[in-house]
Structures are given as structure tokens and as C-alpha cells.
Amino acid sequence: MKAEPRCRLETLALRKQLIGSSCKLFFPEDPVKITRAKGQYMYDENGNEYLDCISNVAHVGHCHPEIVRAAHQQNQLLNTNSRYLHDNLVDYAQRLSNTLPEKLCTFYFLNSGSEANDLALRLARQYTKHEDVIVVDHAYHGHLTSLIDISPYKFRNLDGQKEWVHVVPLPDTYRGLFREDHEDPATAYASEVKKVIDQGHQKSRKFAAFFAESLPSVAGQIIPPPGYFQKVAEHIHKAGGVLVADEIQVGFGRVGKHFWAFQLQGEDFIPDIVTMGKPIGNGHPVSCVATTKDIAEAFSATGVEYFNTFGGNPVSCAIGLTVLDVIEKEQLQAHALQVGRFLMELLHQQKEKHSLIGDVRGAGLFIGVDLVEDQTKRSPATKEAEFITTRLKEEFIMLSTDGPGRNVLKFKPPLCFNKKDAELVVDKLDKILTELEKKNT
């Protein structure tokens, strides 16, 4: 017999009693209880509809009927580990290989982005026989201990930086070390990587990998200057290391122009390892690492088996295949490009109107609005950003902030987010910014 649903306050009380306090809620002062979702919309226990501008995990839309159907049908037949032959595993690997450069032809399937990044770290170290890792400032790569160690966003608030971790400046041309007026920011930022490598070599350090999100997200929706990763790859390869592209939040057509965010850098850039996370399963726990034959064979040469009990199980692969089908059938990559450009245009119009908006940047449906207290100093408008997201929630729009100053409004909605949605959120944003300006005068 189905239990009666709890009221929101009862659910909140039980959560506080039973769930670790470090597991934070959106809008902790007045959290929302979501009971169902469809497409780009979520619904609370009272039936109120919220526009979801946050959930990159529900990549092709919440509860997509074709994905729900694929999971159900495969669950009725078989779900087991990958030590048995099954067509879904090889079919999925083959479909993924068709989206990637030819040399990225070997796949490992796992359950989460954190697992994928942890495996990428192991692959890099085994292949290079080196230990040290270079990461960009403010990066986040996952919640496992190994990944907290290479995530400045996390380790700066914990045990600090390990000796084998080296941090380079975030390639941010708006508020970073080298800005939009620099003649060649890509080379300048890449030279910072070479500087770290040279300093490490003086201390007899050896580098396994340069590890980076193709588009840094937690760092504030950053778009690295074109050519940056090519130059970094030259430096890390010369040092005997490999380049890992973390595509967990930005791959699978989100950037519109390309299927993978690393392809924004140009056809001449190919990472050595690419990691993917739950968006590839529309939120189902599936992830993947793609790499080269040479790196995979070096990993196998240890004689130690890599086994992930339910990584690549038939249900996960059926869902992954269906996500690819939906992206293709509904032309979601092209949709992300068109709607993203439309949203960027609307946001640029708001930038001309409101001095709180310092920068609008993005690619496809990965967009950041950098809010500033002062246009010249570019000081983060943290309080204003929090006010805006709270007010938007009151208008039934879910948006959150990121960046070191928690001042960047981040748009990473499901790819079915449309032009009508874009108009709605920008119209509400315009009214709230006007409200703020009146309040501050």
C-alpha cells in the first residue's frame, strides 16, 4: 500500500535528521520539494511548474519517454555485469567511437563522472610512469579522495595542496591574469603551464597529466581562448605526460557547434583521454572514459584486471544508446546552437542595459553571466547574484551561481530548453535587475 506523501516541512525535518549536513540544498532558507519533472520543467508538491536552467544531467530532458522505455524494456530482459558478452556494450562503444577522433578508440564504462576521472588519473600514471598532475585554478573533477586532491575548488578548504599537484592560472580572459586586450592570451596562459613544468623539473618532479575541464564550469562558465589546449598539449607531451579532457558537464552536443567541447579549440587538438559523466545517461548512473590503444595497453600490461561490477551493464548501455538516438532524432545539438545564440543575444542586450552585468560568455547551452559591482574593477557582485537567483526561484525559475566569487549566473539547462524559455528567463532577469538598481539608488 502506497504511503501518503509527506508535506514539505516534514520531509525537510526528516532530511535534517537523517542526511549528512554537508549535503546541501538549493535555497536552504526555503527549499523546494520537487515531486516530478518532464522536459525542461520540474513540478513541486503543489503542482507549481519551475523552469530548470540548472540540470545539465537531464541532458535531453527530464524523464524523456524514450529513455524511460529503453530502461524498462532492458530491465525486463537482463541486467548484469560486463563479464558476459552482450551486444549493448559493444554497440554503445561503437556509437561513441563514431563521435570522437579516430585515435580515441578504446572505452571503459563506469557509473559516475568521479569514477571516470579517477580511472583517467590511473591510466595517465600507468602510461607515463609519472605521478604529478597539473590542474587549472578553481577546478572541480569529482568527490573521490583522488579527485579532491586535484580540485583546487575543494582542497583549498580541506587539507591543502599535495606536493604532486601543481596549479596553473585559470584561462579566463575576463577577470584572469591575461584578459581580452592581451595580444595572445592562449600562448600566455599556456606559458604558465610550461613555467610550472620547468619549476617542477628543477625539483625532480615528473608529470603524468594536465587535467582540465574542456570548459571550466565551477570556475565560472569559462571559455578558454582558442589554441590554448594545443599549446598546453605540446608542453605536457614534451614533459612525458598526457592531456585529459573532462567533458562531464559540457560534452554530447551541449556546446552546439560541436559534439564535444574540446573541439571548440580546433581540429588540430585531440586529447589523450576524454571523460564523460551522467549526462550521457540522462541522469542514469553511467559514465565513460575514452582513450588511445597505447594508453589502454599500458594499463593492461600490469596484469591487474580492471573490473567495475555494473559499469557498462546492459541497462546503462541501452539508456546511453537511446540518449544518442534522441540527440540525433530531435537534432538537439543544432537546437543547442540556435537557442544558445538566441539566449546570448538577449543577455547581451541586458548587458547594455544593466551595469551589474560585466560579461556574458558561453557556447551553445553553456552560458555564464558575470555580475560585477564595478565595471572597471570587475569586483564580483556576490550578494546581488544570490538575490537574483532567490528572486528567480520566486518566479518559478531555477538558476544557480558559480565562480570563485559565486557571482556568475550559470545556464546549463536540458538541451530541450527553447526560445520561449529563453525569453521568459531574460524577461524576469531584466525586471529583477531593474528592481535591484532602483533599490541601490
- CATH number of the domain bearing residue 287: 3.40.640.10
3 lies in some domain:
no
212 lies in some domain:
yes
pLDDT of 157: 86
225 lies in some domain:
yes
Burial status of residue 127 (CB atoms within 10 A of its CB: 0-12, 13-18, 19 or more)? buried
Pick from 84-93, 223-232, 432-441: least confident: 432-441
408 lies in some domain:
no
Which residues, other chains included, contact 437 with Cβ-Cβ below 8 Å and sequence gap of 6+? 354, 355, 356
pLDDT of 285: 96
Domain that holds residue 278: 65-329
166 lies in some domain:
yes
pLDDT band at 170 (very low <50, low <70, confident <90, very high): very high
Taking the C-alpha atoms of residue 250 and residue 241, their distance in angstroms, rounded to an integer, is 24
pLDDT (mean) for 344-365: 98
272 lies in some domain:
yes
362 lies in some domain:
no
Structural domains of the chain, count: 1
247 lies in some domain:
yes
**Residue 39's CB: how many other CB atoms inside 10 A?**
18
pLDDT of 245: 98
- The bridge status of strand 41-44 relative to strand 49-52 is antiparallel
Smallest Cα–Cα separation from 293: which of 97, 36, 39?
Answer: 97
Taking the C-alpha atoms of residue 309 and residue 322, their distance in angstroms, rounded to an integer, is 22
| Three-state SS at 213 | strand
pLDDT at 123 over 90: yes
pLDDT > 90: percent of the chain:
95
pLDDT at 384 over 90: yes
pLDDT of 5: 83
pLDDT at 347 over 80: yes
The mean pLDDT value of the chain amounts to: 96
pLDDT at 3 over 80: no
Q: What is the pLDDT of residues 223-260, one digit of tens each?
A: 999 999 999 999 999 999 999 999 999 999 999 999 99
Taking the C-alpha atoms of residue 315 and residue 284, their distance in angstroms, rounded to an integer, is 10
pLDDT at 440 over 80: no
pLDDT of 2: 60
pLDDT > 70: percent of the chain:
99
Q: In Å, how far from its chain's centre is CA 219?
A: 11
pLDDT (mean) for 328-338: 98
Evaluate the CA torsion angle 416, 420, 426, 427 in order and state its sign: negative
pLDDT at 411 over 80: yes
pLDDT of 122: 97
Q: What order of strands is seen across the sheet that includes strand 34-38? A: 34-38, 41-44, 49-52, 397-398
Tell me which amino acid residue 432 is.
I
Greatest alpha-carbon pair distance for the chain in Å reads: 69
- Residue 287 β-bridge partners: 110
pLDDT at 1 over 70: no
Taking the model in full, what pTM does it have? 0.96
Q: What is the pLDDT of residues 50-70, one digit of tens each?
A: 999 999 999 999 999 999 999
pLDDT of 279: 96
DSSP string, 250-281: TTTTTTSSSSSGGGGG-TT---SEEEE-GGGG
